[in-house]
Structure 1
Amino acid sequence: MINRQSLLRFAHKFNLILLIIATVFCLWSNPAFAHRPHDVISQVEVSPDFQTDNTVYILVRNNFYKSSDGGSNWTRLIQGLDYTGELSSLSLSPLNKNILYLASRSNGIYKSEDAGESWQQVNQGLETNFINFLEIAPSDPNIAAAVGLEKGVYLTEDGGKNWSNIFPTTALITSLAITPNNPGRIFFGDEQGKLYTSSDGGKTWQNLPLPNNVGAVDTIAFSPNLDRDKTFFVSTREAGIFKTVDDGKTFQAVNEGIKDKIIEDIVISPDYAQNSTLYAITWYDGMYVSQDGGKSWTKMSEGLTKDKQADDYKVPHFMDLKVVEDTMFLGGFNGLFKTTDSGKKWQEIETLARATVIAMAVSPNYAQDGTVVIANYVGNIFISRDQGETWTPINRGLEVYRLGKDPEESGQDPRRFFDIAFSPNYGEDRTIFAGFLRNKFAKSDNGGDLWKIIEIDQKVRGPRIVPSPDFAKDKTLFLTNQQGRIFRSTDGGNTVKNISEVGKISGNYAPAMVASPDFAKDKTLFVTGTEGIYQSVDGGLTWKNVSQETPLSKASNVQLAISPNYPKDGTIFAGTIFSGLFVTKDGAKSWTKLEKPGFNPSTSVETIAISPDYANDRTVMVSLQGYGLFKSTDGGETFKSIGDPKIPLVKIHSIPSAGISVQFSPNYAQDKTLFGFGGAKTTVFRSTDGGETWTSVTIPPHAEEDTPRYKIGEFFFSPLGAILRLVIPILLAITAYFLVGFLKLEKVINLPQSFFSMAAALMIFLFVFFVIITQV
């Protein structure tokens, strides 16, 4: 029988052991935290036939999206949109729902005559391609005005075929509007608070008498009955809203009830003559409504949310409003909001989906296992083991509560993926790697069934993962990132070490890195850095710039693809945003721009992929921004357009990732299979005829946090759960201690009974704790 003194001695020892174990595991565990990233909606347009066609257009994070069901589902439209800078303004004709204009701060103005399905540039007569905003005349779709970042106001009267500068100026113009019923009457305001109008299509101008010191003129909105009631409203940066009822001869401030006087948009009810209703969107507060012609205002922002990053970037929280009877859409920094009750309650609707595919990898053993993996923008990794027909989430070990809070992205879901890659020896080692946006990556050595998080010991953003082609023997893995730091692992990715640097790349892009197929012998790598392309011949320890005195030294978002036959042909392709496509055939000693490849040689090259059978088929694929997929079968000398240019085989803009949006099957010589991504949903595109035709598979939504295992795990990693993580094993260990005491094992084995009890208690504690930690 156990005496009291022995029990006390054991209790002290046991408590000490548990305290040590608990301390270690508590330090190891991370708190739970989750939130979706913001989706900046800079502009919204609604079809004039919205009540029947439910069509909405948005500019979201520099992408053009269309919905045909009131915002429930979105399609990314890209055909003809070869812009390389920011999309700045969108305008839809109220008279012809098929006509849209789209302005950019890089490539001028685009026009669509098929409801956004395809676009063409209409820049004849423009003196600048940096366009801040534009406006279609409400009463004539052939007339539109546009404002350049500099050099004034432009007008077209022939549907964009020709533009003329109707008000040359060096002032920064901040607003533009054309009256509802007279396309020749144009207004604009500038940053100095001056308001101008023309009644003859820009031939002559008049300065209207706004009060002094009101700041920039941000918005001009007309009564639908302007010709009769002479009423319009103007918002200013520092003094709020002004109203005129005498066609601009005098103005009166109308801000009662508005606390936030930085007005981003004003929308007047089409029934203003009857209901005197108008709406104002403010920088911070959201929406205000007036039902007395602006005399008083009421805030109506229930359900609208904000993101503190808007304040960090000094941009508005709310930007653009569109109204169709009781239905309204409001675009802002934190997303798109919709109301169906005239603004009483708002609800955010998903646009730039968390499930958007940002990275893909095809198994090197694809001919045998048919395996493909994809990573979402946020939250999930999926695997297909049947050549892309069906997909399964593989997220065990990647839960939010394991990743913890990102101190640099407070309020953000830490499951922001950046890259995904197979081990070249995947058929044997079953290893997959996945990169996160910041400071860590993950490894699975069982085909994605369970992941291990590996921390990078320096703050880095955007790691690209490149396993050594000889990974089966050397266990070497390289990581580069936007900071230009080169990390290497020689233990299969379990630990990484910073071994060199090539300098930070420009822009919010992913750096490129490729390894020589004969890396085991030549130790050769290529990577992009501050001044273009760098080469290492010692496994990444030292680097030499191999693009000096070429356009590649100053190019943005350089993409690299290396020939599988590199040891013999020395071939690497380099694609750029502004400068076109380049090739070297001497191991980067010299570079040649492909001047007549079958497409505009300065077109933005978004993706390059080389056939694994390049030595025989000489096949190269390039995906061009706005023009679709092009194929070469002569080593890049000439290209031809293939597939459907409407299929978005380019990465989503403004979501940085290392994903390559077009990839060959390693068995391409036999199966002619390619995979691609770039749509607005969790969609994978597949071709089995060398890219000529494509089919798509859309993966059903999967919310990992809705699964029972996730909820149990989230609980156990919560503050209360953390206590129970210890209490449950302790209680079971104490129970085991006393139960073993009844077995009288000291009579069978000549050891003290306390030894058996303590051993049993410790084993039970460790086993239960391990099960809780690893199985949830």
Structure 2
Amino acid sequence: MDIATRFLVAYLLVFIGSMQAAFAHTPHDDIHDVEISPNYSQDQTLFIITRGVLLKSQDSGQQWHKIVNGLNNKHSLTSVDISGEDANILYVSSRGDGVYKSEDGGTAWSKVNKGLKTLEIDFVEISDNAPNVIFAAGIEGGLYKTENGGETWRQVLAAPDAKITAISSLPENSNHLMAGDQMGRVFISNNDGEDWEQRLDIPNAGGITAIEFSPYFESDNTVFLGTEKLGIFKGEFQKGPKKIDPLVGISDGLPEQAIQSLMLHPEDDGGYMIFSSTSNSGVFISEDLGGNWENYSQGLSKDDQATKFNRPQFSNLEMANSLDTERKIYLAGYDGLFRTELPEQKWRQLDTLSSNIITGIALSPNYENDSTIAVATYVSGVYISHDAGTTWKNVSNGLEDLHKYIAPGNSIARMFNIGFSPDYVNDRHLFTVTRHGFWHSNNDAEKWRKSSLDLENLDPLHMVISPSYGSDGVLFAGNYKTGEIFKSSNMGVSFQPIGSINSGIKSFQISPNFSSDKTLYAGGGQTVFKSIDEGRSWVSVGDFEGNITSLAISTTDKMLIAGTTSGAFIWKDQGNSWLELNIDGVDAHAQISAVSISPSDGENQLIILSIHGKGLYKSEDRGDSFFPIADELIDANYQLSDFSPNFFNTGQPIVFSPAFTQDKKIYGYAGENVLKSQDGGNTWEVISLPEDSKKSNFKRFRFRLRFLSAFLQAQLDKIF
């Protein structure tokens, strides 16, 4: 093969590698943890944490459902663990809400924090031999223990003496435990974790990332330690002095030494395989106790954003207990969740986050007669229904944003909201906002056009539409991150910057009397701002303890409700003060996920709150009292809310029919599902959107890329 051909093969390999990175999994589902049911062979159940939320699958990872019932966390979840003795018992940890426990297989949850000195918990670990004994490791250090299933906790290692990064029970004796910290030190306890002694220090190793014991520990006393910087060590645990000696490194054959996870699998011949995941290079196997390592990464993919956000490309490995000969292994990755089946040597990526996750929903102002609904999805574009949600059509022609996102078969930019013109019955105008700007359609969404508002910083946008749009052509956009306000006076064709609230906008509302009072409201940080000059200048009209999550304004008077991360507040008749909404049975500092006010007035006016982890609450007396409704929704883990704080939605998750006084209809969204009520919110119907065909084409294209990459790599190996 001549030099030119060799160069061409090498160039194509580099080019395809960059293409594969560009075509990373969409939506981007960075998996922080994966945990498998001990009864997997019967229930096919596993859990993952992605985007700071908990997902559950009961079909080996083919379909996923977000778990929300009782999880009222205001901070991201960090880990999940399942009891090896009782699959109904689970615990999750969080970055600021402590620990939650489930006793029904992960359907419903409750906080168990009594005795914890910190609510910032890095991970939880259930004892292998005692399901009521659990350890919780603090993010800033310290180790906590409960012996009664989370009812009370005690600190057994104080911060900042040690920030525990791994913990494991010795297989032959439940009283003995081993833990590692972020400085490469190993601690041993011989009394159920009550007292700890440092027994090993590995200089320059970084954190201890994994502790695994030989399947034949009772006879060979072998322990394996994974480290952050120096790879894998194998040692002999001496039971008398309770120390590990000798200790030898066994990872010279690995391309990198940043170990994320270790897993041991016994074989029929009495030996065992060692599986290791590394931060950036993938998975490797050794069948001779670390003497030699084989690359086991075929089919894995990476995402360049992992480096930007200081996240590993690959993290923990988990093997399912199975009765058949094929053993399923799952791997958490930054580009998604991967699965393989022994004896195969190829990974398959599983879809965990739907491309149809809904980010906005809107009803035609003439819904009573045309039954038209539109929804925006994260990366599947816009869907529209003209029969109240019975059938849907994807109407995304023109939304492709090829100069920002390079992807096959046209890529839909990330979408954040959707809206109808108030004069839709005559003009057929719709509007949507994406990560890259503002889009408008003047032909019932058959074709979309981009406005001049094009954001180079990829910031999400809010939008509000003048109630007199048919005559004034006015729309506003507000920047989710910077707080800038933009105005269009030509039906969304072009926008001009006009002002700023100097804080990221988390909710944006327009007065129903805008044509006369020129009033806008914006929620940013812990403040509600008001403008009476079309957004040019802003003043604070309310400051709160929690951050603003949602604003709602009455269409018939000037009642304004602010939902925050620490309760809900009401401002009636443009009064001088806000009143906190008291809700029986709900913590005063509960996080409000969504707020909506019906267009009706007087005794027919309703207020609906979606309270994080609690469900829906309704008021029929202008906020004086609330009562829970639709318990079956939260019981089935449907919450009318944005999917995650890490999804920068700007839509309203609860929308009343414009003719609500007559038809009592309300729509909302939860994950990838549209929810519909026809009785004022008391009962709901779940409506699914059709599967996105673009996603299937995208997956086929990525498979072809990987096949071509493997072929070219083989040719390159032959050359050299």
Provide the TM-score with structure 2 as the length reference.
0.88
Deviation string, structure 1 residues 204-251 (Cα, Å, up to 9, x no partner)? 222122332222212212234434332221112221111112344212
Deviation string, structure 1 residues 134-153 (Cα, Å, up to 9, x no partner)? 11112221111111123511
The structural deviation recorded for 1:408 is: 11
What is the percentage of aligned positions where both structures have the same residue?
33
Instruction: State the secondary structure of the residue aligned to 2:522.
Output: strand
The structural deviation recorded for 1:504 is: 3.0
Please state if 1:371 is matched with 2:363. Answer: no
One-letter amino acid matched to 2:494: T
Please state if 1:323 is matched with 2:319. Answer: yes
Closer/same/farther in 2, CA of residues 124 and 227 from structure 1, 3 Å limit: farther
Partner of 2:62: 72
The structural deviation recorded for 1:413 is: 4.4
Matches within 5 A, 1:319-358: 319-324=315-320, 326-342=327-343, 344-358=345-359
Deviation string, structure 1 residues 26-47 (Cα, Å, up to 9, x no partner)? xxxxxxx966342100111111
Which one has a bigger Cα radius of gyration?
1
Distance in 2, Cα, partners of 1:518 & 1:657: 26
Please state if 1:431 is matched with 2:429. Answer: yes
Partner of 1:699: 689
Distance in 1, Cα, partners of 2:580 & 2:317: 45
The structural deviation recorded for 1:342 is: 4.4
Distance in 2, Cα, partners of 1:157 & 1:273: 39
Aligned residues: 658
One-letter amino acid matched to 2:544: P
Distance in 1, Cα, partners of 2:371 & 2:75: 38
Please state if 1:154 is matched with 2:144. Answer: yes
Distance in 2, Cα, partners of 1:447 & 1:63: 35
One-letter amino acid matched to 2:483: G
Gaps of at least 5 residues in structure 2 are 1-21, 321-325, 702-720
Partner of 2:31: 41
Of 526, 534, 544, which aligns to 2:539? Answer: 544
Partner of 1:16: none
Of 661, 670, 674, which aligns to 1:678? Answer: 670
One-letter amino acid matched to 1:406: K
Matches within 5 A, 1:53-202: 53-150=43-140, 152-170=142-160, 171-180=162-171, 182-202=173-193
The structural deviation recorded for 1:597 is: 5.2
CA-based RMSD? 2.3
Distance in 2, Cα, partners of 1:706 & 1:314: 30
Of 655, 660, 676, which aligns to 1:663? Answer: 655
Distance in 1, Cα, partners of 2:696 & 2:230: 48
Partner of 1:761: none
Distance in 1, Cα, partners of 2:134 & 2:156: 12
Closer/same/farther in 2, CA of residues 293 and 540 from structure 1, 3 Å limit: same
Distance in 2, Cα, partners of 1:317 & 1:704: 26
One-letter amino acid matched to 1:147: A
Distance in 1, Cα, partners of 2:416 & 2:363: 16
Structure number with higher helix proportion: 1
Closer/same/farther in 2, CA of residues 216 and 704 from structure 1, 3 Å limit: closer
Please state if 1:639 is matched with 2:639. Answer: no
Closer/same/farther in 2, CA of residues 590 and 78 from structure 1, 3 Å limit: same
Is residue 596–residue 608 contact of structure 2 (8 Å, CA) maintained in 1? yes
Deviation string, structure 1 residues 106-149 (Cα, Å, up to 9, x no partner)? 11101111111111111111111111111111222111111112
Please state if 1:580 is matched with 2:567. Answer: yes
Is residue 477–residue 492 contact of structure 1 (8 Å, CA) maintained in 2? yes
Partner of 2:279: 283
Partner of 2:496: 497
Instruction: State the secondary structure of the residue aligned to 1:368.
Output: helix
Q: Answer with 523-532 or 266-275: which moved more.
A: 266-275
Is residue 206–residue 227 contact of structure 2 (8 Å, CA) maintained in 1? yes
Distance in 2, Cα, partners of 1:610 & 1:225: 64
Partner of 1:405: 403
One-letter amino acid matched to 1:625: H
Is residue 327–residue 342 contact of structure 1 (8 Å, CA) maintained in 2? no
Distance in 2, Cα, partners of 1:192 & 1:273: 37
Matches within 5 A, 1:254-269: 254-269=250-265
Closer/same/farther in 2, CA of residues 360 and 544 from structure 1, 3 Å limit: same
Of 281, 290, 295, which aligns to 1:299? Answer: 295
One-letter amino acid matched to 1:685: L
Partner of 2:513: 518
Is residue 34–residue 413 contact of structure 1 (8 Å, CA) maintained in 2? no
Is residue 502–residue 530 contact of structure 1 (8 Å, CA) maintained in 2? no
Of 217, 230, 246, which aligns to 2:237? Answer: 246
Partner of 2:615: 628
Distance in 1, Cα, partners of 2:370 & 2:328: 50
Partner of 1:313: 309
One-letter amino acid matched to 1:498: P
Is residue 27–residue 353 contact of structure 2 (8 Å, CA) maintained in 1? no
Closer/same/farther in 2, CA of residues 89 and 272 from structure 1, 3 Å limit: farther
Instruction: State the secondary structure of the residue aligned to 1:340.
Output: strand
Is residue 584–residue 592 contact of structure 1 (8 Å, CA) maintained in 2? yes
Structure number with higher strand proportion: 2
Distance in 1, Cα, partners of 2:158 & 2:23: 50
Is residue 531–residue 545 contact of structure 1 (8 Å, CA) maintained in 2? no
Partner of 1:469: 467
Deviation string, structure 1 residues 655-701 (Cα, Å, up to 9, x no partner)? 1111211211111111111112113xx32111111111111111221
Partner of 2:6: none
One-letter amino acid matched to 1:443: H
Closer/same/farther in 2, CA of residues 572 and 70 from structure 1, 3 Å limit: same
The structural deviation recorded for 1:530 is: 5.2
Partner of 1:443: 440
Instruction: State the secondary structure of the residue aligned to 2:270.
Output: helix
Partner of 2:704: none
Instruction: State the secondary structure of the residue aligned to 1:358.
Output: strand
The structural deviation recorded for 1:536 is: 0.6
Gaps of at least 5 residues in structure 1 are 1-32, 712-776
One-letter amino acid matched to 2:535: G
One-letter amino acid matched to 1:295: G
Deviation string, structure 1 residues 611-631 (Cα, Å, up to 9, x no partner)? 111433231001111111111
Distance in 2, Cα, partners of 1:74 & 1:586: 44
Partner of 1:26: none
The structural deviation recorded for 1:562 is: 0.5
Instruction: State the secondary structure of the residue aligned to 2:339.
Output: strand
Partner of 1:600: 587
Closer/same/farther in 2, CA of residues 44 and 272 from structure 1, 3 Å limit: farther
Is residue 380–residue 704 contact of structure 1 (8 Å, CA) maintained in 2? no
Closer/same/farther in 2, CA of residues 672 and 224 from structure 1, 3 Å limit: farther
The structural deviation recorded for 1:386 is: 0.9
The structural deviation recorded for 1:706 is: 7.3
Distance in 2, Cα, partners of 1:526 & 1:386: 33
Deviation string, structure 1 residues 268-301 (Cα, Å, up to 9, x no partner)? 1155982321211100011011112223221110
The structural deviation recorded for 1:174 is: 2.1
Instruction: State the secondary structure of the residue aligned to 2:451.
Output: strand
Partner of 1:720: none
Distance in 1, Cα, partners of 2:98 & 2:583: 24
Is residue 569–residue 581 contact of structure 2 (8 Å, CA) maintained in 1? yes
